[in-house]
Amino acid sequence: MNAELLQTFLDRHGADPARWPAHERAKVEGLIAGDPEARRAFEKARRLDAALGRYGDAAAPDNAALARLTAKLNGPLPAQKRPFWRLPAVLLDWQFAPAWPRMAALACCAVLGFAIGLTGIDRQFDTQTTTSVSSSDVSASVFESEPFPGVQP
């Protein structure tokens, strides 16, 4: 790793070894320990990081602003935005414990379905009578070709 790559590494991950990727930490620490130029780059990065941390300290929020915000939020609140379509709350809140009554109900429904299918109670709904809509041949009027297609007036 040359000086430029080390600088990029320090910019990317900062000067705190705890934030460095584990697989690169030992290599970078060895480089810093053995190379004076790398050591100087590390010290510069450490000073910049410390300065950036101090910037955060200086911008700590003030109590007056917090009090104003709290007072505003303690006032009347606007209406909440509900989703346009919601499953019934009972489905969303469905708890699966204890499950056995629901499983028993599901099994009963399945058995009832098989029984209906086997006994043929539903067969009358499937039978349909064929109804003639018209005896005349309407295809000629529907599919009659246009005279001189493509001819412009």
Is the CB of residue 22 less than 8 Å from the CB of residue 60?
no
Helices 22-34 and 3-13, interaxial angle, to 10°?
A: 130
> What whole-number distance in Å separates Cα of residue 87 and Cα of residue 29?
56
In the complex, least distance from residue 23 CB atom to another protein, rounded to whole angstroms: 15
**Selected binder of another protein within 62, 126, 137, 146 (CB under 8 A):** 62
Q: How many CB atoms lie within 10 A of CB 76?
A: 4
Two tokens, residue 25: 């930490």
Which one of 30-38, 66-74, 105-113, 139-147 is the stretch in contact with another protein (CB under 8 A)? Answer: 66-74
Q: How far is the CB of 126 from another protein (least distance, A)?
A: 43
Q: CA 136 from chain center: how many Å?
A: 59
Question: Which residue in 22, 23, 77, 142 binds another protein (CB under 8 A)?
Answer: 77
Residue 39 contacts another protein per CB under 8 A: no
Residues forming the site for another protein (CB under 8 A): 8, 11-14, 19, 44, 47-56, 58-66, 68-70, 72-74, 77-83
